[in-house]
Amino acid sequence: MTDQQTPRNNTQNIADAIQDIQDRAQVLVREEIELAKAEVTAKVNKIAKGSAVGAAAGIFVIAGVGLALEGFAWLAWYELFPDNQFFWGFFVVAAVLFLLAALAAFIASRAFKAGAPPTPQLAIDEAKRIRETVQSPELPERTA
């Protein structure tokens, strides 16, 4: 009877091992999905922040162009009627707005580069390591 119980025990051990592997694989897949979600969310947030700063840069440029055009209008008035030099104030404000626009554009470009493309690189790297571990001929030691 011992001979008949041994194949059953072996079959049960194999079934338990397969179930254990299946459970661990499901946990790994869930963790990889969560890691990918977190990574993509972080990158999309960076892109959104970059878009907001880029929009601010656009507003500064538009305001700067408006003031520069206003300054040119005052300059034309001054050349035609040289009483007071009102236009220099417009040009100074326009220059400050252009500097702010350049700074905002620089920050936006860094945010876009940091967030694009929104791929879950850490999750992909981890999945490759898991695949290499599973396909390797030596099994790692189990820690309980």
0.85 cut: is pTM over it? no
pLDDT at 5: 55
Q: How many whole angstroms separate alpha carbon 24 and alpha carbon 142?
A: 12
pLDDT at 1: 46
Question: What residue segments make up the domains of the chain, in order of their start?
Answer: 2-135
Whether residue 65 contacts residue 17, with contact meaning beta carbons closer than 8 Å, is answered with: no
pLDDT at 59: 93
HSE-up (13 A, CA, CB side) for residue 37: 6
Nearest to 35 by CA among 110, 112, 128, 107: 128
Q: How many whole angstroms separate alpha carbon 61 and alpha carbon 65?
A: 6
Whether residue 111 contacts residue 49, with contact meaning beta carbons closer than 8 Å, is answered with: yes
Nearest to 111 by CA among 32, 64, 53: 53
Q: How many whole angstroms separate alpha carbon 36 and alpha carbon 140?
A: 25
Successive 10-residue mean pLDDT values, the chain, 144 residues? 62 84 85 84 85 90 88 76 69 83 88 72 76 68 55
pLDDT at 115: 67
Q: How many whole angstroms separate alpha carbon 36 and alpha carbon 116?
A: 15
